[in-house]
Amino acid sequence: MDKNAKIYVAGHRGLVGSAIVRSLEAKGYTDIIFRTHSELDLTDQAAVFDFFETEKPEYVVLAAAHVGGINANQTYPADFIYINSAIQCNVIKAAHDHKVKKLLFLGSSCIYPKFAPQPISESDLLTGPLESTNEAYAIAKISGLMMCRFFKKQYGDDFISCMPTNLYGPNDNFNLETSHVLPALIRKFDDAKEAGAPFVELWGTGSPLREFLYVDDMADACVYLLENYSGEEHVNIGTGKEITIKDLAQIVKETVGFEGEIHWNTDMPDGTPRKLLNVDKLHNIGWKEKVSLREGIRLEYEWYKAQDREQLKV
Ligand code: GFB
């Protein structure tokens, strides 16, 4: 990729998109373009087509998505399937029409069957029923990665996809109703410490296993794939390491310095029991993560403390 190429990062204010912009800039890319949600509604097909016609990006990173944790996914399935499907249909078709040189589509590890063999390989896609708490989001993301695959197959477009594991880091969502587990834990333990509360309440049983990747590592992997991968099949992005939610909670508790107890609210869902990615393909392409989970949690907590926390909570 030419360092002066015009690269459109869709979703540049989010957890992933903002990290991709940081990574592209750090690697010397000079012409990165983006639009805020109010400047360009990606569900509006005419607006998206106009934007591509005017700006003519050469590369596209599609990191814009309607995302959330287990509770948001379960409560608002219509929003998750509609908004994500609309965004990816519009951006992928516009990229094709305007002969974009390469597009990277970002999905999620929840695209795989609930009881997929572990660790989950790329080839396990569509081999069994999905986890019900995030079926709507998963169906949209499967459709997006298939769209990239079929545009490549039919037209030869260089459209690739990657499926990251659970991500965390700066610009995460700290709203307790809609967030993922890691920012929720950081906020809950931090609030409890400040308030001198005797316990925090976490969701589920604590027994599910999850894999976590620091978002700057994820962004680095995305740029690496843009520069080095043009295969038809999507690529898993993760660490290949997993941890129970209980052990994760212990690390966050220690990082924050909360000394009270943890209560588990088993009325809230656990979600899929295990979701560990097989990252052999990514390793074979030549990429591996740098930030350990403990270090990443420390970095996210430092970032959180430096923000206007009240604003982040809404
Ligand atoms: O991160 P999370 O919301 O989503 O939850 P998923 C992971 C696990 O943490 C679940 C538990 O077992 C939760 O029950 N957990 C414990 C909590 N306490 C909390 C809490 O306070 N907040 C939250 N949010 N969880 C999402 C999918 O699944 O993963 C999306 O819904 C997406 O589609 C994303 O794929 C990466 O890992 O279960």
Catalytic annotation present for 137: yes
The residue annotated as part of the active site, out of 137, 168, 229, 304, is: 137
Measured by CA distance, the residue closest to atom 15 of ligand 1 is 203
Q: Give 249 Cα–ligand 1 centroid separation in angstroms.
A: 12
pLDDT confidence of residue 74: 95
Per-residue pLDDT band at 135 (split at 50, 70, 90): very high
- Asked whether residue 314 carries a pLDDT value surpassing 90, the answer given is no
Measured by CA distance, the residue closest to atom 22 of ligand 1 is 181
| Domain 6-171+212-240+276-291 in this protein, CATH class | alpha beta
- Asked whether residue 215 carries a pLDDT value surpassing 90, the answer given is yes
Residue 55 CB: number of other CB atoms within 10 A?
A: 14
Mean confidence (pLDDT) of the chain: 97
The pLDDT tens digits for 75-108 are: 999 999 999 999 999 999 999 999 999 999 999 9
Pocket test for ligand 1, best of 66, 203, 248, 276 (most atoms within 8 A of CB): 203
Say whether 84 sits in a helix, a strand or coil.
helix
User: Which tokens sit at 68?
Assistant: 């959330």
Q: Where are the domains of the chain?
A: 6-171+212-240+276-291
| Atom number in ligand 1 closest to CA 109 | 35
Contact, 48 vs 90, CB < 8 A?
Answer: yes
Q: Give 181 Cα–ligand 1 centroid separation in angstroms.
A: 5
Contact, 274 vs 117, CB < 8 A?
Answer: no
Q: Among all chains, which residue has been given the structure tokens 């896609």?
A: 125
CA distance to 24, 58, 227, 261, per residue, from 3 (Å):
9, 12, 11, 51
* Cβ contacts of 195-201, under 8 Å, gap ≥ 24: 197/260, 198/260, 198/261, 199/260, 199/261, 199/262, 199/263, 200/258, 200/260, 200/261, 200/262, 200/263, 201/263, 201/264, 201/265
Mean pLDDT of 56-66: 98
pLDDT confidence of residue 313: 85
pLDDT confidence of residue 103: 98
Provide the β-strand partners of residue 84: none
DSSP 250-306: HHHHHHHT--SEEEEETTS----S--PBP-HHHHHHT------HHHHHHHHHHHHHH
Measured by CA distance, the residue closest to atom 10 of ligand 1 is 270
Residue 141: DSSP 8-state: H
User: Which tokens sit at 182?
Assistant: 């890691």
Mean pLDDT of 159-179: 96
Pocket test for ligand 1, best of 70, 130, 163 (most atoms within 8 A of CB): 70
The pLDDT tens digits for 187-208 are: 999 999 999 999 999 999 999 9
